Amino acid sequence: MIEQPEAGPVMDHTFESGPLRLSGHLAEPEDPVAGAPGLVLCHGFPTRGRESPQSGVSFPELAERIATELGWVVLTMNFRGCGRAEGQFSLLGWLDDVHAGFDHVRSLGVEDVWLCGFGTGGSLALCEAARNPDVRGVAALATPADFDDWARHPRRLVLHARQVGVITDPDFPPALDRWAGELKRVRPTEAAAALADRPLLVVHGDGDDLTPLVDAEALTNAHGDAELRVLRGAGHELRHDPRAIAVLLGWLARQRVGAAL
């Protein structure tokens, strides 16, 4: 049985990504107005102790807060292989899931959609925005600048993916070389450079022991005009750092004002 928080919103919404059905939560303002902006909110890669069933379980609460306080339509989603979402983990598959989330929000009549991601979700938000000119802007928190370490050790990554439950099919991936090749094709730093004409927020903790601060600096420098916020003493789990959430909410509020001008 999938564990969920004892109280509060849960991943109770579904939408399709290709042939797969993904899980998520859709948060909408109590009094929606025409032209309300939209946001796709992406979690990171599961870790030991916080495996696939727990992926993104606190994100519906954040989505509801953004909808209530800022008036946004927010979709937070589980990537394939996470939570109740169907499928097996692949990096390009997760990138397609971000696009599916974007399309789903647009299908609700929301014209202006931003992307926000934590960890791997931030990297994929950047890459989706780089290939999708309709994305209005990106917020990337504790975000890797590349996946070179994963690409150098694909068998180790597959083992870890099985341990945290994002790969459950014993015959997946059917071709390791092709699956591993995807890790080299997802280039967040190059994506940040392609976003030079759109807003980018980069938030990072100087105590992050999973993704070094140099990654945030690389993304910021590649973009050229990104807003970089470094949080003293913060680790990798910025979803649970009130300072990071305050920075994100402030940035989203400014995005809405800027879009209205």
Indicate whether 103 belongs to any domain: yes
Whether 2 shows a pLDDT value over 70: the answer reads no
Beta carbons of 175 and 222 less than 8 angstroms apart? no
By percentage, how much of the chain surpasses pLDDT 90?
90
Q: Is residue 246 part of a domain?
A: yes
- Is 181 within a domain? no
DSSP string computed for 176-242: HHHHHHHHHH--HHHHHHHTTTS-EEEEEETT-SSS-HHHHHHHHHHHSS-EEEEETT--S-GGG-H
Residue 3 has pLDDT above 50, yes or no: no
The model's pTM: 0.95
The structure tokens 């926000």 sit at 116
* Residue 84 falls inside a structural domain: yes
Structural domain boundaries, residue 34: 13-145+187-260
Within-domain flag for 74: yes
pLDDT exceeds 60 at position 191: yes
Q: Report if residue 87 sits inside a domain.
A: yes
Q: What is the pLDDT of residues 103-116, one digit of tens each?
A: 999 999 999 999 99
- With bands split at pLDDT 50, 70 and 90, how would you rate the model's confidence at 34? confident
Q: Is residue 193 part of a domain?
A: yes
C-alpha distances in Å from residue 59, one per residue of 42, 121, 151 = 8, 12, 28
What span, in angstroms and rounded, lies between the C-alpha atoms of 160 and 71?
38
β-bridge partners, 169 = none
Q: What pLDDT is attached to residue 5?
A: 44
For residue 175, being part of any structural domain is answered with no
How many domains, in total, are found in the chain?
Answer: 1
The three-class DSSP label of residue 83 is coil
Strands 73-77 and 20-27: what pairing?
Answer: antiparallel
What CATH number has the domain bearing residue 203? 3.40.50.1820
Long-range contacts of 147-155 (CB under 8 A, 24+ apart): 147/91, 147/123, 147/183, 147/184, 147/186, 148/183, 148/184, 150/183, 151/180, 151/183, 151/184, 154/179, 154/180, 154/183
Q: In angstroms, rounded to a whole number, what is the distance separating the alpha carbons of residues 147 and 20?
A: 25
pLDDT tens digits along 58-100: 999 999 999 999 999 999 999 999 999 999 999 999 999 999 9
Backbone angles phi, psi at 158, to 5 degrees: -60, -45
Are the beta carbons of 219 and 145 closer than 8 angstroms?
A: yes
Angle in degrees, CA 164, 21, 3, rounded to 5: 45
